[in-house]
Amino acid sequence: MGELYHWFDLLGVAVFAISGTLLAHEKSMDGFGVIVLASVTAIGGGTLRDLILDMPVFWVHDTSYFITILVTVAITIVWLNIRQSFPHFLLQLADALGIAFFAIMGAQKALGAGVPVMTAVIMGVLTGCFGGMIRDVLAREVPMLLKGPLYAIACAIGAGLYAQLVSMEINQQLAMWIGGLTTLMVRLAAIRWQLSLHVFRYHN
């Protein structure tokens, strides 16, 4: 089971590294900028989660995470150099896949640390959103977390569903798939139909 979680984690890192690389391309960054943006996107949320939970930071003694980032960045750079452009929707799709993986992995790791369900959901949201927030700030963009359609809400829904299914003793792998797909579907639906949690009335 631990090996399966590790591969899920690496898959989430790869997807978020693609997201960071795409934004770096959009902002015309150099090679170092690409690596920095891809790395903070891929591991920023998990790093904050582990620090808050007072656990060893997951990438410190495991180089497979940085190898995954570097390989993913290299492949994405080659693809972008051949294509020269990409639809903006690809960035949103990569981001949606990333939060779907990381929201569930964050909640799973928090539950494994023995925290309450609500705390696990918060850790899922942080894991899914914080890396993208750092990426956007470094790229001088308003973070998707603050303006994107149901960004953090999608993480909370998916992580909350996962935590509830686990508490009901549903098979953990099944719970992860259900929670992750729910996060992805909510986020993609919000992008497609521009669903947002509006609390203010704007004249325009």
Mean pLDDT over each residue of the chain, to the nearest integer: 92
Percent of the chain with pLDDT over 70: 98
> Cβ-count burial of 157 within 10 angstroms (0-12 exposed, 13-18 middle, 19+ buried)?
buried
Name which of 127, 99, 83 is nearest 19 in CA terms: 99
Short-list 44, 176, 181, 65, CA closest to 112? 176
* DSSP state, residue 58: T
Cβ(124)–Cβ(103) under 8 Å?
yes
Mean pLDDT, residues 19-40 taken together: 95
Please tell me the pTM assigned to this model: 0.91
Comparing CA positions, the residue from 103, 107, 101, 94 lying closest to residue 135 is 94
- The torsion defined by the Cα of 118, 113, 104 and 68, in degrees rounded to 10, comes to 150
pLDDT of amino acid 166:
95
Predicted local distance difference test score (pLDDT) of residue 1 = 58
Confidence of residue 98 (pLDDT cuts 50, 70, 90): very high
